[in-house]
Structure 1
Amino acid sequence: MNRKKEILEKLAFIKSHKELVSFGVKEQEVSHNPCLSEAEIAAFERKHSITLPDDYRFFISEIGNGGFGPGHGLLPLNKAIVDFKLRDKPNISLNKEFPYQDDWNEEWIASFDWDEEYPDTEIVDAYISTAHIAGCLQISHFGHGCTFLLVVNGNEKGHIWFDGRADYSGLIPKMKDGHRISFIEWYVTFLDMEIENINKSLTNSTTD
């Protein structure tokens, strides 16, 4: 099936049963921002000295530049480069490679006595620095300051990671069936889960 047609059909089904989506998703509109033109995407890539993953590039040019999606929805490209959870709202350096290939967290976190004290500001600032997510778009806010990342530079380019540093749980690659997942895999999996929830609700309503 044509990927664009598949996604639009899934979105249309979800929109027609919006009252049955999962609790967190109910707050979102099943819609997307206007698509970006090829010229706009190319200008962004030149500015940041990167090339976006093909499937994400397709999405923002054919489906929408942010909108309905996992967590609190997809952020548009110009907002995905800003680390919104930090006070000074710094930009993420996309022209530097993402530094990790495996799960990462600071060793001190596991041994820290959280009942007795709180880490020094300098330690926390270093932990939540954007240096740890260089080469990533922060494409969706999961909640409590945790986010989904799309790696756009480095060995993990094209893969989705979860940034749980706001809860001191580090950085973790998203997996499905034992392999890293791309943006489109992640997004379609989200749609399929919502459709499954809707179908369960429809089935239960007919058997009650």
Structure 2
Amino acid sequence: MTDQWWVGVRQRLEAAGAGPSGSRVFGALGHRWIVEDPLTQGELAELEAQTDVRLPEEYRTFLLHVGAGGAGPAYGLFPVRRVQGRWRWEGDGADLADLTRLAAPFPDQGPDPKLLDDLLAQRPEEEDFDDIEDFDDAIEAWDERWEAIMFAPERTAGAIVISHLGCAQREWLIINGSHRGTIWSDCRVDDVDLAPLLDDDGTPVTFARWYTDWLEKAERTALSAP
């Protein structure tokens, strides 16, 4: 059972938050080491019925045994909450996930790399323009073409945003499809495509590994002498 990952985690978070250097952990001033209450079995069932998808086991057991969100990697784990009778994830960029597409599989392949390379090669450069307004118009038109490909809604079907790293960089949890349960990096704001987080041996990082690795590193900082 994957709930073994979460034994004692709430207590460890509380201890880290009270540690002499708890405020030095990156993002701690944002999540303040607060963990929301866990979901009940009934609430989880309602959430999964609304989204029409069973959440990955490591994540769903986290929701049941640790909390609905809060203290976690970067600026924290986006909480899932019921708002006006409907469930949704909340956080900076959480609305990038289309909740009507969660039951669809996350795509196995992104855009054609050659298409992206060609488009990047066509990006306007300011020195090629005599008039700054002409450059602004050209870069705006290029941005529209780039974003239409990179941020197409089908790119992130079957996935939710779960963390914000700052500077519009985020991380996604894949909840449906062949990559189900894995964490993906989103640096599209820096013209870098979505990519899975990989362990040292090249194994895709799953939710439990992602969270517990963060907690172990955070504890080393939080419990150290100031």
* Superposition TM-score tier, normalisation by shorter sequence: 0.7 to 0.9
Q: What secondary structure does 1:176 align onto?
A: coil
Residue type of the alignment partner of 1:12: E
CA distance in 2, matches of 1:155, 1:133: 13
Which of the residues 198, 216, 225 maps onto 1:192? 216
Aligned residues of 2:92 and 2:164 also touching (Cα < 8 A): no
CA distance in 1, matches of 2:32, 2:208: 20
Larger radius of gyration: 2
The residue that corresponds to 1:155 in the other structure is 178
Q: Write out per-residue CA displacement over residues 1-35 of structure 1, whole angstroms, 9 at most, x where no aligned residue.
A: 95333423431331122634334333321111121
Aligned residues of 1:138 and 1:147 also touching (Cα < 8 A): yes
Which of the residues 46, 51, 54 maps onto 1:48? 51
The residue that corresponds to 1:127 in the other structure is 150
Deviation at 1:69, TM superposition (A): 0.9
User: Is 1:17 equivalent to 2:26 in the alignment?
Assistant: no
The residue that corresponds to 2:5 in the other structure is 3
Aligned residues of 1:128 and 1:166 also touching (Cα < 8 A): no
The residue that corresponds to 2:163 in the other structure is 140
Higher mean C-alpha displacement, 22-31 vs 169-178: 22-31
The residue that corresponds to 1:72 in the other structure is 75
Unaligned runs of 5+ in 2: 81-86, 127-137
Aligned residues of 2:94 and 2:162 also touching (Cα < 8 A): no
Deviation at 1:159, TM superposition (A): 0.5
Change (3 A) 1:59 1:122: same
CA distance in 1, matches of 2:67, 2:90: 17
Aligned residues of 1:82 and 1:90 also touching (Cα < 8 A): no
Residue type of the alignment partner of 1:156: H
Change (3 A) 1:92 1:183: farther
Deviation at 1:161, TM superposition (A): 0.6
Residue-pair matches, total:
201
The residue that corresponds to 1:37 in the other structure is 40
Q: What TM-score do you get using the length of structure 2 for normalisation? A: 0.76
Q: What secondary structure does 1:180 align onto?
A: coil
Aligned residues of 1:150 and 1:158 also touching (Cα < 8 A): yes
Unaligned runs of 5+ in 1: none
Deviation at 1:52, TM superposition (A): 0.5
Q: What secondary structure does 2:163 align onto?
A: strand
Aligned residues of 1:33 and 1:64 also touching (Cα < 8 A): yes
CA distance in 2, matches of 1:120, 1:193: 38
Q: What TM-score do you get using the length of structure 1 for normalisation? A: 0.81
CA distance in 1, matches of 2:110, 2:146: 22
Deviation at 1:49, TM superposition (A): 2.1
User: Is 1:98 equivalent to 2:121 in the alignment?
Assistant: no
Aligned residues of 1:92 and 1:136 also touching (Cα < 8 A): no
CA distance in 1, matches of 2:218, 2:161: 22
User: Is 1:111 equivalent to 2:115 in the alignment?
Assistant: no
Deviation at 1:102, TM superposition (A): 8.1
Deviation at 1:197, TM superposition (A): 2.5
